[in-house]
Structure 1
């Protein structure tokens, strides 16, 4: 059996290789002078404003996480400020190892507050579940506001005019297929309910329902839901302020920027370090659909991603230093 550390190192190298290959493929035809020209002509008041807004969003994310963490006997209460520093350490680690930041932020917080990593990981899973719900809602909102673009893109792949007729003609087959699929899942879960994979799926859905119920039992459930909404509004404002600072995207409407944000968010979900390559590809693609030139679209993606990475590196390093200097939490001796 291969050494886990070696296996993880291989995964990191492959992920990083894929990310940089996508990045190189996107930007291999762009001259450095074009990027320099765009940087020189940009309004950096707006771009620095976007970084300030993003930093506020990071702090709110830390505060929201602190709301989820329930203090147990013998443990120290988590403050919003300390949770924020742990979150930033997690973002910093994610730039090196995809998804490792979630474990890293739980580790540094457990070290300084005595709360079990298992409990902290549970709150992170719940946090990600809620974010997934908000992402789905944001995608739906973008679809409603930019439905014409979605339909035109779909029209390039299929004949929209005959789609309705095809749906009606295939409706009985479609409904029958759904029924068969549901019955198949039912039999599968009944027959293999002792199987590890099936148990994990069942456990996932139980945890999802339980997690949403847990939010209602928090001391400040309203604060949790409001902060979750504010976080996604801040994502939008971060993208919107950058678009206003760059000449080629300053004419984009709010709904168009929202769709750009959605594509960028999907790119960041990809299992590569910091969304390198995938973020740039999806953001540039949707900007091209809005009439922005391919070069300008790619440069826009590079500017917003690059400035955000620099922010995470600087602020994350500060947070790492802060967390390292905090003494290790020692559980009080009851004897």
Structure 2
């Protein structure tokens, strides 16, 4: 085993160790009987509906991905293959964080002959759009739950004294911001070829260029509407589970939206399947809504557990389906 592979496996082991430790720390004081009792008393019609709508969301994500793929060479990617490749990616992400993006591209390269570089570019664009959607969702949650946002911020800093300080030093604040903008502009201009500065500029150029490419697609409206519907599905998945559990059945849609935002942030963490980080953030925000600590953690375990099982089952089916397909061969030129 070379040093690069050894380093990668060490990183995987560390991320898994962190995930397991966070999960253990959260649930070490919760009796397994409490979880079993909650599972028995939950309304599984609501939870089953959330699982069904999640499946539709996974298929929609696969279909949306195919809209970005322009096969200069190779075979057209159908929505079914886009879905199966996407699920293979989710399955691999449970083992190695972020490796699923490469895996799902590799699957289509093998079965459809589309270049790996092109597919990776579409995945980066997908992730950039998802990031924009997450930011928009956070902003929407702030509008609907601004009092809670302010309350949580107040637990970290004294908002009143901070605002008073800003008002009394308004000229200094504006002057400081102007100087900061000028300094940043100078740094980016002076060190544009430097490693990290170049990467930051390249990242934003990629996002800008990617958004322009979406406008040049055959079905740009389908892509944007699909992206919005995806986040509605994420919300509905969380909302339906909340209806199925007695301790969260009275949460408002705005509160569930904030729970979804916290869960989404937890899933972004570089650990396998958001294990630990998802549970911690979801339980934390539920406690702020008056849900007991035990019930909040059990809610997080149920929604994450059902989605985890769904990904494993669908991912294995998709992996077997794609592995049965023959390797694409370029047609011989005459």
Which TM-score band (shorter chain)?
A: over 0.9
How much does 1:320 deviate?
A: 0.2
Q: Is residue 167 from structure 1 mapped to residue 169 from structure 2 by the alignment?
A: no
Q: Tell me the distance in 2 between the aligned counterparts of 1:123 and 1:165.
A: 47
Counterpart residue number, 1:255? 254
Counterpart residue number, 1:176? 175
Q: Tell me the distance in 2 between the aligned counterparts of 1:266 and 1:55.
A: 21
Name the CA shift for 1:153/1:189 in 2 (closer, same or farther; >3 Å): closer
Q: Tell me the distance in 2 between the aligned counterparts of 1:170 and 1:80.
A: 57
Q: Tell me the distance in 2 between the aligned counterparts of 1:325 and 1:157.
A: 54
How much does 1:189 deviate?
A: 2.5
Counterpart residue number, 1:196? 195
Counterpart residue number, 2:30? 30
Counterpart residue number, 2:133? 134
For residues 269-306 of structure 1, the C-alpha deviation after alignment (integer angstroms, 9 at most, x for no partner) is 00000000000000000000000000000000000001
Counterpart residue number, 2:40? 40
Q: Is residue 321 from structure 1 mapped to residue 320 from structure 2 by the alignment?
A: yes
Q: Tell me the distance in 2 between the aligned counterparts of 1:292 and 1:320.
A: 39
Counterpart residue number, 1:61? 61
Bigger CA drift: 36-45 or 188-197?
Answer: 188-197
Q: Tell me the distance in 2 between the aligned counterparts of 1:38 and 1:115.
A: 47
How much does 1:202 deviate?
A: 1.9
- Structure 2 unaligned regions, length at least 5: none
Q: Tell me the distance in 2 between the aligned counterparts of 1:171 and 1:95.
A: 49
Bigger CA drift: 157-166 or 240-249?
Answer: 157-166
Q: Is residue 283 from structure 1 mapped to residue 271 from structure 2 by the alignment?
A: no
Counterpart residue number, 1:149? 148
How much does 1:257 deviate?
A: 0.5
Bigger CA drift: 100-109 or 74-83?
Answer: 74-83
How much does 1:198 deviate?
A: 2.3
Name the CA shift for 1:116/1:239 in 2 (closer, same or farther; >3 Å): same
- Structure 1 unaligned regions, length at least 5: none
How much does 1:29 deviate?
A: 0.3
Q: Tell me the distance in 2 between the aligned counterparts of 1:172 and 1:98.
A: 46
How much does 1:138 deviate?
A: 0.5
Q: Tell me the distance in 2 between the aligned counterparts of 1:320 and 1:306.
A: 21
For residues 110-147 of structure 1, the C-alpha deviation after alignment (integer angstroms, 9 at most, x for no partner) is 11111111100100010111111111111011111111
Total equivalences in the alignment: 334
Counterpart residue number, 1:13? 13
How much does 1:171 deviate?
A: 2.6
Secondary structure in 2 matching 1:15:
helix
Counterpart residue number, 2:300? 301
Secondary structure in 2 matching 1:218:
coil
Bigger CA drift: 176-185 or 236-245?
Answer: 176-185
- Give the alignment's TM-score, normalised by structure 2: 0.97
- Give the alignment's TM-score, normalised by structure 1: 0.97
- Within 5 Å, which residues of 2 pair with 1:79-228? 79-228=78-227
How much does 1:225 deviate?
A: 0.5
Q: Tell me the distance in 1 between the aligned counterparts of 2:248 and 2:10.
A: 39
Q: Tell me the distance in 2 between the aligned counterparts of 1:251 and 1:186.
A: 49
Q: Tell me the distance in 1 between the aligned counterparts of 2:192 and 2:135.
A: 30
Q: Tell me the distance in 2 between the aligned counterparts of 1:178 and 1:162.
A: 20
Q: Tell me the distance in 2 between the aligned counterparts of 1:135 and 1:220.
A: 22
Secondary structure in 2 matching 1:249:
coil
